[in-house]
């Protein structure tokens, strides 16, 4: 990745951290899940309104490090309007990006987190909001955890 692109991607993270998108409880939510990353102290709740199989609206709320909050904010912008299957596919791409640093061919804001792969402890921060969102989609009432063996 070129230096310019790295800088651009850092701007994406800083911007989401300064001005989080879709932050706060969603009054119309019909699915809610909470995620917890004890290794860093991050918390993230995801609220979404599922309309059939499509995510009509979603929001997050939480506290923690810049990576966890910026990632959750970006996640809400990526998942709006997506089906459950599309959301799972996006998460698979994002997980690849943060664990390998390899970015997909097309430029995506998700690639802003490619640098996370050099800080393995931060992968859990970056994926926390996504875990919560996927659990909310499954209608799983159990808290999301970043301590899954598959992680």
Q: Is 42 in the site for Zn ion (CB under 5 A)?
A: yes
Q: Which of 26, 75, 98, 125 lies at the binding interface for Zn ion (CB under 5 A)?
A: 125
Pull the structure tokens for residue 123. 């992968």
Radius of gyration from C-alpha coordinates of the chain: 14
Pull the structure tokens for residue 38. 């004890």
Q: Is 5 in the site for Zn ion (CB under 5 A)?
A: no
Interface mask toward Zn ion for 60-79; x: CB under 5 A: -----x--x-----------
Q: Return the number of the residue (41 or 139) whose C-beta is nearest Zn ion.
A: 41
**Please, what is the minimum distance in Å from the beta carbon of residue 124 to Zn ion?**
7
Calpha distance 38→54 (Å, rounded): 31
Pull the structure tokens for residue 120. 């393995």
């Amino acid at each position: 990745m070129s230096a310019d692109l790295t800088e651009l991607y850092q701007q994406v993270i800083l911007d989401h951290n300064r001005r989080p998108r879709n932050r706060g409880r969603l009054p119309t939510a019909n699915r809610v899940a909470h995620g917890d990353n004890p290794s860093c102290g991050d918390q993230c709740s995801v609220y979404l309104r599922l309309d059939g199989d499509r995510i009509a609206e979603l929001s997050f709320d939480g506290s923690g490090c810049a990576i966890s909050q910026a990632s959750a904010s970006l996640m809400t912008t990526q998942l709006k309007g997506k089906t459950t299957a599309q959301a799972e596919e996006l998460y698979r791409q994002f997980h690849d990006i943060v664990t390998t640093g390899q970015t997909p061919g097309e430029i995506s804001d998700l690639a802003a987190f490619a640098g996370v792969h050099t800080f393995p402890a931060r992968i859990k921060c970056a994926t926390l909001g996504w875990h919560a969102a996927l659990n909310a989609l499954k209608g799983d009432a159990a808290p999301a955890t970043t301590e899954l063996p598959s992680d």
